[in-house]
Homo-oligomer: A and B are copies of this chain.
């Protein structure tokens, strides 16, 4: 094939953006939009007015689109609950697929999707567009190469996801247990929960969390979370997030016996100890001395192609031009983390061990879904999100 033919499934905020800002502007070197699908005719109509519709087919049923022969790859941009099911339908048909984050709402559905991926010949990736950020890539490299020694602690404050009440009212599914399956953890934080394990190179073994539901908004799900994570190595960490504060903070600090990494204000700082701090502690005869350290790296963010980088890499990988950057099956890790934090919150901060008991999680979730205020008939609107993904930046 000359260019990968993409079909867009779902024309909410993200799907519309990709169609208008990437495909219509021909920013995908080796990809072209040949079909779009939404169950809502108003959204189909709206997109027709925003992009050049020549050569694009419009659908209200995604399976018809998948079976049309008009696409090689799909972008899945629907509410989270439907990600695994639709991705699985793509994979079954060997249609390559990019799944919007998160991979799903609960691990059982994501595990089943991953099993389908294992059997498919199609490529599958996740829209973890923040993995393209040079700062996180550098943190990951330094930690993986032992540059901060033995991991001791991370602290990630991610409170720059401020959203108004109007945001929550823009879609009937938003911020409901039945429609979305969670709040700030599942909608805003899939990036950070993915990056956390990707940068640190490890999943925690247990989590304790305080989740507060509708603390700053009139919603039924969590909009304020403080989570304590423990790793097998003994390292611990705190993850703090909310959609109720502004001006927020996005500050990711990781410390180890060999030094400290700090990612803040679109910049990375790396302090390297002159010797291992535990070794120094055991051998120094001075009570108040330190091993000393040097600031060996202090630089602003470099490349960060974000969503465009993910889609371009994917199209190129489909054509065999470069390796796929992200194996979509890794998406389960962020869902696992989200589920562990959410479950601990539901259990009043009790310690939850990983992997999360997927049946227990679903039992709890289903109880909340049963009394959810989700109104499937409510009309969604597409938001103007240009320039406002504050939380998506460092």
* Of B216, B234, B290, the contact of A162 (CB 8 Å cutoff): B290
**Which residue in B210, B255, B287 is a CB contact (below 8 Å) of A236?**
B210
Q: Which listed residue, B168, B234, B244, B383, touches A277 by the CB 8 Å rule? A: B244
Q: For residue A244, which residues in chain B have a CB less than 8 angstroms away from its CB?
A: 152, 277-278, 281
CB of A287 within 8 A of CB of B166, answer yes
Asked if B281 contacts A164 (CB within 8 A), the reply is: yes
Q: Which residue of B lies closest to A245 (CB)?
A: B255
Interface size class of A (residues with CB under 8 A): 35 or more
Q: Which of A164, A168, A277 has the most CB of B within 10 A?
A: A164
Instruction: Tell me the bound Cα distance from A127 to B364 in angstroms.
Output: 51
Q: Which of A134-168 contact B (CB under 8 A)?
A: 152-153, 155, 157, 159, 162-168
Instruction: Say yes or no: is A68 at the interface (Cβ < 8 Å to chain B).
Output: no
A271 proximity list for chain B (CB < 8 A): 247
B277 and A388 within 8 A (CB): no
The yes or no answer to A208 lying at the interface (CB within 8 A) is: yes
Does A130 reach chain B (CB closer than 8 Å)?
Answer: no
Question: How far apart are A296's CB and chain B's nearest CB, in angstroms?
Answer: 12
In the complex, A78→B313 CA distance in Å? Answer: 66
- Chain A contact residues, CB within 8 Å of chain B: 152-153, 155, 157, 159, 162-168, 170, 208, 210, 212, 215-217, 224, 226, 228, 234, 236, 238, 240, 242, 244-247, 249, 253, 255, 259-260, 271, 273, 277-278, 280-282, 284-291, 293, 349, 351, 383-385, 388-390
